[in-house]
Amino acid sequence: MTPRTVCRSLVLGSLTLTLVAGPAQAAQRHPDTGRPDTARPALAPRSGAAPARLPAPDTAALSSLLRKAVQQGAPGALARIDDHGTVHRATAGVDDRATRTAMDAADRFRIGSVTKTFTAVVLLQLAAEGKVKLDTSVDRYLPGLLPDARITVRHVLSHRSGLYDYTHDLFARTVPGFEAVRNKVFTYRQLVAQSVKHPLTHKPGAVYAYSNTNFVVAGLLVEKLTGHPVRTEYQNRIIKPLRLTDTFYVHPATAIPGRHTHGYLTPDDARSPLVDATDQTASWAQSAGALISSARDLNAFLSALLGGRLLPAGQLAQMERWLSSGAQQAYGLGLRRRDLSCGVSVYGHTGIVQGFSTYAFTSKGGQRSFTALANTSNNGATDRTMLATLDSAFCGKHVKSRVAAAR
């Protein structure tokens, strides 16, 4: 696949991938239709069941996949597994093409949509405090913002609002699209206005359709309900209590603080050089994707979340009300579930912001967490390779043949 096709398939990907109604299989009920609400029969233990023992990670296969991502065009890649207190690290390539500095598993990077999980945690904490109700109209909290009063807070957090994703317009052409926003500062309302120029993509609640607009609305809700910028709420509710010393929300500043990897955007034309996209406001993303973090911090965050240390059980259960979002995956509230080849399900998020592709997942109960990063984006081949690292981390040697086939 050429990078040009990659771009189209990414954009189309978020449309095709995401316009999925949930098949009727599980016991949980869809909040809108009352029908059963999840993606596939339970292969992994569900809430309340004791987590199954996972096979040991296949660290050799993991390293080999990172090297493969570098051969496919990523300047570098890193991964870290935190498994019951044991840490495994792997790296390949460089974090800076100019200085040829080796990638370091401790490097900070832009986490893209993994930010959505942080935003959802903040809103669910507010729900636990009685400050917001998931099945209440967004219009009640932000009157007149959205074109349809049937859109609820739950629709927004589960990508079922029908709000058009404004990034389809911004990034139809990859490098010109990025350069047009690299130093721009948007208000949340400007981003929502770009979305609502388009009609809703479907009736609120009807289907899952991934849209960054939803988590811009979520950010606005956080600010309205607390009277504080999202940065303050991330800081006070997640970053400080978990001591995530590599995690920052610096918007609209453009630099990543401290030791970090550069990120390199792959142009649509494969013959053009990579674009260093490290410095950017990420203002097009904000509460949908502007956080900076590290593999250590993301692992600590997801372990705390699935371990029940960030949300009361009731709110965590809401976050884990799954609706199918495509083959072998489902979406809850700001949280993805991926069903791996060995029958293990993992929970977290993926994230793409220009130059950076992040894969951050944890096991049920949070005892094994895994984060991987390729310091490039808009490259379908590296994306597939990096997704395969999840199998090495959670399925161990069971998938050796698959890893070999990916070579």
**Residue number with the smallest Cβ distance to ligand HEL:** 113
Nearest approach in angstroms of CB 221 to ligand HEL is 19
d(CA 259, CA 132): 38
What is the DSSP code (8-state) at residue 286? G
- Could you tell me which of 278, 118, 285 has the C-alpha nearest to residue 186? 285
Nearest approach in angstroms of CB 178 to ligand HEL is 6
Which residue number, 79 or 225, has a Cβ lying nearer to ligand HEL? 79
Asked if 118 contacts 236 with a C-beta cutoff of 8 angstroms, the reply is no
Nearest approach in angstroms of CB 11 to ligand HEL is 6
Which among 113, 283, 303, 369 is annotated as catalytic? Answer: 113
Nearest approach in angstroms of CB 375 to ligand HEL is 11
Please give the backbone phi and psi of residue 32, each rounded to the nearest 5 degrees, phi first.
-95, -45
Asked if 89 contacts 405 with a C-beta cutoff of 8 angstroms, the reply is no
Nearest approach in angstroms of CB 195 to ligand HEL is 13
Which residue number, 115 or 125, has a Cβ lying nearer to ligand HEL? 115
Which residue number, 207 or 225, has a Cβ lying nearer to ligand HEL? 207
Binding positions for ligand HEL, rule: CB under 6 A:
7, 10-11, 14, 112-113, 167, 171, 174, 177, 210, 212, 265, 289, 350-352, 354, 377-378
- Could you tell me which of 349, 353, 373 has the C-alpha nearest to residue 362? 349
- The kind and range of the H/E element at 381 are helix 380-394
Asked if 393 contacts 18 with a C-beta cutoff of 8 angstroms, the reply is no
Which residue number, 83 or 268, has a Cβ lying nearer to ligand HEL? 268
113 is catalytic: yes
Query: Which ranges constitute the DSSP H helices of 72-211?
Result: 115-128, 138-141, 153-157, 167-170, 174-181, 188-196
Q: Can you list the positions of beta strands (E) in 74-149? A: 76-83, 86-96, 101-102, 108-110
Which residue number, 137 or 212, has a Cβ lying nearer to ligand HEL? 212
Asked if 257 contacts 108 with a C-beta cutoff of 8 angstroms, the reply is yes
Catalytically active residues, by annotation: 113
